[in-house]
Structure 1
Amino acid sequence: MSSLSRRSVFGVLLAVAAAPQFAFAHKNQFPDRFLPQLVNSGRRDWEAGSVHVVPDDYFLYFMLNDGLAIRYGVGVGRKGLYKSGTFTVARKAKWPWWRPTNAMIRREPHKYARYKNGLKGGPNNPLGARAIYLYDEAGRDTYLRIHGTNEPRTIGSAVSNGCARLTNEHVKDLYERVEISAKVHLHPKG
């Protein structure tokens, strides 16, 4: 059994064991379908260790073996800001520092200009507890992230500036599973 296979099997067991904790942490915040679940994705062509965001369904799949996946509920980029494509995880951070992009500041200066010098990581940071940084095929930072949020009610909606967001508890779980160099597929909106 390969190390990915062993880790995947162990990860499934941990996910199943942690499911009651997730349910308790977010009761009444959003529908149960957005809680992490072990599912058969029906996609044997999606590689183990890869991540797939399906924006129309508001789900993120962390792929295991043989089409099995851990499915998380996500919030995605609002109209005109979601960017589909295939990216590579080049960096991960716990309680990451954040700065809005220049485009965000131009679009909504009343909301973002005050953060032009950045915001240290912590419970009030918009990236939440963890961030997974997505880079393009040329090795450039896309400024797209998979990250936590302090607003669990936004899971299952298109409200972000282009990033995929999970609850802080769920992104902590995903963070431990996703490896640097993993492929992330942000599927097109329908």
Structure 2
Amino acid sequence: MHRPAALPALVLAALLAIAAAPALAQSWRSTPTETLRIEDQPGYEPTADEEQLSPALQRQMVFFRTTEPPGTIIVHTSERFLYVVQGNNRALRYGIGVGRDGFQWQGLKSIVRKAEWPDWTPPPEMIERQPYLPRFMAGGPGNPMGARALYIGGTVYRIHGTNQPQTIGHAVSSGCFRLVNADVMDLYERIPVGTKVVVKQAPEL
């Protein structure tokens, strides 16, 4: 009986590669590299406040070395960036507005409360400096606290949104860290109460 000749090794390798292609494609799709870049998500359309940000200040995944565990918030005041550690030398970076001269600070804190469309009650020290401020303002689009707030324990400061997106990247606040509303809403969904917050004046060299 005549036996068919064995397939050449090159042809056999090609057939095996074709058979494995679906599995390899699925493996690639599930790899968590750059998946948090909002601009890469299907159907994404930037909001008006995001469009006002320079590319450097827009939310993006970056290379970031730290010994802090994933989920930690790290603020570099001098850089005007807030990082959420992702592990594997990666972090999700947000452009922020920071405290003006005399109102910058550093320390190790945690998130103790979260609020959607928070009310604003300026603390007494702010009222003393700016007596024209309202004593209370209900949450909403016109509120300077923006769409979300994360309250930093042991301080009067917050990580919050803003109705002035043009201030992102600048030192303008009384010590709070502000993000455009689209970014603070994204951050709000990622960060649970109890999250560690590390505030630094400058990045480590």
Give the counterpart of 1:32 among 41, 55, 78: 55
Answering whether residue 73 of structure 2 is matched by residue 55 of structure 1, we say: no
* Preserved CA contact (<8 Å) 1:23 1:32: no
The structure with more radius of gyration: 2
1:15 correspondence with 2:37:
yes
Matched residue, 1:177: 190
Aligned AA (2:112): A
Aligned-partner Cα distance in 2 for 1:91–1:133: 5
Name the structure 2 match of 1:70: 92
Which residue does 2:16 correspond to in 1? none
**Match for residue 6 of structure 1?**
none
Q: Are the aligned partners of 1:23 and 1:35 in contact in 2 as well (CA < 8 Å)?
A: no
Change (3 A) 1:167 1:25: closer
2:50 and 2:139 map into 1 onto residues whose CA distance is 22
Once the 2 structures are TM-superposed, how far is the Cα of residue 108 of structure 1 from its aligned partner?
1.2
Q: Is 2:150 the counterpart of 1:129?
A: no
Q: What is the match of residue 120 of structure 1?
A: 138
Which is bigger in relative contact order (C-alpha 8 A, separation at least 6)?
Answer: 1
1:145 to 125, 133, 158: 158
Query: How much has 1:89 moved relative to structure 2?
Result: 0.5
Partner AA of 1:30 in structure 2 = L
2:68 to 46, 50, 74: 46
- 1:167 match: 180
CA RMSD, 1 decimal:
2.2
Cα distance change of structure 1 residues 12 and 95 upon mapping to structure 2, 3 Å threshold: farther
Taking only the aligned residue pairs, the percentage that are identical comes to: 39
Q: Give the alignment's TM-score, normalised by structure 2.
A: 0.77
The residue identity in structure 1 corresponding to 2:78 is D
| Aligned position for 1:3 | none
CA distance in 2, matches of 1:104, 1:33: 31
Distance 2:141 2:153 in 1: 25
Can you list the C-alpha shifts for 1:68-105, whole angstroms capped at 9, x where unaligned? 11100000011111221111111000001111111111
Unaligned residue ranges in structure 1 (runs of 5+): 1-8, 137-141
Preserved contact between residue 46 and residue 67 of structure 1 (Cα < 8 Å): no
Structure 2 residue aligned with 1:92:
114
SS in 2 for 1:103: helix
Q: Quick one: which of 86, 92, 101 aligns to 1:79?
A: 101
Length, aligned pairs only? 171
1:188 Cα deviation (Å)? 2.2
The SS at the match of 1:109 is: coil
